[in-house]
Structure 1
Amino acid sequence: MAATIKYEALLQKPIILFGSGRSGTTIISEILFQHEDLAWHSNYQEIFPRFPQINFLRRLFDNSWWRMVKFWNFVGVSKNTRQKKSKQLINLAIFNPIERYNFWEKITGPRIDFSRGFLLDTKATEEERTYIRSFLAKQVKYQGRKRLIMKFTGPARLEYLHSIFPDAIFVNIVREPIATVRSWLEVGFWQTKGINRLWWVGAYSSEEEAEAEKLKNDPALITAFQYRKLMETTAYEIEKLGLQVYESHYEDFVKDPHTFIYKLMEYMQLPLSRHVEAYMQNIFVANRNERTSKKTPFSDETKKRILEIVSV
């Protein structure tokens, strides 16, 4: 018999956004997180991963009387990076959405490598499911919201997440591979993680590991190899589970952000939001695919090899 979960109704149709990373998930989720109905994982929850009560803080920063939200001109840099560069301590102290894995490692427990595992063919145990749902239901309740939204990058982890949230609304954000690979190469995280090795684990065959070994001295190609695996495993999980997944493209977003977001909200069954509209009026969306990178220039040959790898 399933355990009774307090505030269970607040977990109906949770929204799960996912993508490879560097695919537009940050700016798109940043806009959606402004919606007044949605609760999300915060910077404070990351510091205190075992205490759902920390979510009451959101009511101090964001309520019907005031919203302590800093509007930024978006130039392709994540909110977290912008805040780290800010000299104003208040911008770091504001209760903000954040994508981190300390929290998820704590709530999934030692059996699951949530940060690095592909989690293919893996379901949550009943104990894990009950604990995670109970915790996140409190997160929504304590933030004073109506629904839950989550964002993940890297492996989609669809079977594991679907076993916890069977009625979840899944949205996959995809970006053109050459631009995605270049963007991975330009972030600090990737410099110490996957730039010369396979970062995520649990899905590569021995043949694929041997192929990666041949590519590891070329950062662009080993990165493209890992991008391909993310795409393959996502497609595998969608087909295996028969999931209905809304696939959205970064290129469509930068072409017409307002239409893109409104269609997405309609699919997510979210009402129109004046906060979402106000936020979109105060940001500038740049098409990062069109820039010429002096930091990471790709030769025509490299671009060709990237496309060959990801299309296999």
Structure 2
Amino acid sequence: MTMHNGEQPSEVFVLGSGRSGTTIVLHALACLDGVIAVPRLAGRAAWTAPLSSRMVRYGVGPSAWTRPSSESTALFTEAGLTQAFQSRVGRSIGPDDAGSLDMGVLWHRLQQIRHHGGARTAAVKNTASCGRVPVLADTFPDAAFVHVVRRPTTVVLSMLATDFWYDMTLWWDGRTTQRYAQDEDLSHERVAARHWARQVAIAMADLQRCAPSRAVQVQYEQFVDDPRGQLEQMQGVGLSMGTQSGLRRSLEDLGIKVESARRDIPGAVLAAVESECSEVAERWGVSL
């Protein structure tokens, strides 16, 4: 890995497919000196400006930004946003309409958040950012990217076990998973495998065009096995471990759990993952 020029980046974008462990990695980054975690804010075009500005204006502290997503509604209410407002403007954006995310506004609000939190770096996480690498790299020329990749069979099983999978909108297509499966005559195992493979392949292909000093890939399984060692590798993109490794909380407090044993993977999942990885890798010219 090429080493960074020594300056800590103002922004670090954490990206990866859903259920890949991006939240854990984001919270671990927030343990480093001078880093503040900003989950979800950058993923909503119309939420970015009003939500972050109201947080700053009404003193919603940095700890609120690392709340579990299950508490997001309370967070929005605390920031002064009504449910009607959230429903009206909370549309996720994908790569095809990434231009609708006002990068100037995003840049300004991240500055506000860093200032309010007394941080040098804002670590921003959103899974849809897998499709936004080019526009983010152009808007934030000194930003670093941390791409989290997890074993695909684990991701597929985790996705299918969630309560939101069947109504979830595929950001790279625009249809819900249920509609996509029906229209394309595919099993949900196959759709979940395709969702993982396309997100990873798109991100990998775009990150290959970035300077090596701006991007690092993190394998989730290696991260939970040795989070401190993986964080040290991120010094290659300019993140400082600090004098005492920079960790302000214990790794146990982050909720990092090692998968104790491999589950038996259903044959349908294995076949779907193998087929989709091969097809998508050939299309995007990357090795999955």
TM score, norm. by length of structure 1: 0.65
For the 8 Å contact 1:212–1:222, the answer to whether it is kept is: no
Pick the aligned partner of 1:226 from 174, 195, 199.
195
Which position in structure 2 is the counterpart of 1:15? 12
**Pair 268,279 (structure 1): closer, same or farther in 2 beyond 3 Å:** farther
- 1:117 is aligned to 2:125: no
**Pair 299,117 (structure 1): closer, same or farther in 2 beyond 3 Å:** same
Tell me the SS of whatever aligns to 1:308: helix
Q: Which one has the bigger helix percentage?
A: 2
Which position in structure 2 is the counterpart of 1:146? 120
- 1:137 is aligned to 2:111: yes
Q: Note the C-alpha offset of 1:39.
A: 3.0
For the 8 Å contact 1:221–1:305, the answer to whether it is kept is: yes
For the 8 Å contact 2:39–2:65, the answer to whether it is kept is: no
Which position in structure 2 is the counterpart of 1:79? 68
Offset from partner CA, 1:240-280 (integer Å, 9 cap, x none): x4443211101111222221223225534223267725231
Tell me the distance in 2 between the aligned counterparts of 1:180 and 1:31.
20
Q: Note the C-alpha offset of 1:58.
A: 5.1
Moved over 4 A (4+): 42-48, 91-95, 122-125, 209-212
Tell me the distance in 2 between the aligned counterparts of 1:278 and 1:152.
23
Which position in structure 1 is the counterpart of 2:158? 183
Residues 1-312 of structure 1: pairs in structure 2 closer than 5 A: 12-41=9-38, 49-50=50-51, 52-55=53-56, 57=59, 79-81=68-70, 115-119=92-96, 128-156=102-130, 157-193=132-168, 199-201=170-172, 213-215=184-186, 218-239=187-208, 241-244=209-212, 245-265=215-235, 267-272=237-242, 276-283=247-254, 285-288=256-259, 290-292=261-263, 298-312=265-279
Tell me the distance in 1 between the aligned counterparts of 2:143 and 2:241.
17
Offset from partner CA, 1:131-156 (integer Å, 9 cap, x none): 32222212211222222211121451
For the 8 Å contact 2:189–2:268, the answer to whether it is kept is: no
Tell me the distance in 2 between the aligned counterparts of 1:304 and 1:184.
16
Tell me the distance in 1 between the aligned counterparts of 2:183 and 2:25.
31
Which position in structure 1 is the counterpart of 2:83? none
Give the partner amino acid of 2:69.
N
Which position in structure 1 is the counterpart of 2:3? none
TM score, norm. by length of structure 2: 0.69
RMSD: 4.2
Structure 1: 5+ residue runs without aligned partners? 1-10, 63-67, 71-77, 96-101, 107-112
Give the partner amino acid of 2:275.
E
Q: Note the C-alpha offset of 1:93.
A: 10
**Pair 237,43 (structure 1): closer, same or farther in 2 beyond 3 Å:** closer
**Pair 202,155 (structure 1): closer, same or farther in 2 beyond 3 Å:** farther
User: Aligned residue pairs: how many?
Assistant: 251
For the 8 Å contact 2:15–2:125, the answer to whether it is kept is: yes
Give the partner amino acid of 2:184.
E
- Structure 1 vs Structure 2: percent identity of aligned residues? 18
**Pair 212,242 (structure 1): closer, same or farther in 2 beyond 3 Å:** farther
For the 8 Å contact 2:37–2:65, the answer to whether it is kept is: no
Q: Note the C-alpha offset of 1:13.
A: 3.8
Offset from partner CA, 1:205-259 (integer Å, 9 cap, x none): xxxx8997021xx1111111222221232233234x4443211101111222221
**Pair 302,181 (structure 1): closer, same or farther in 2 beyond 3 Å:** closer
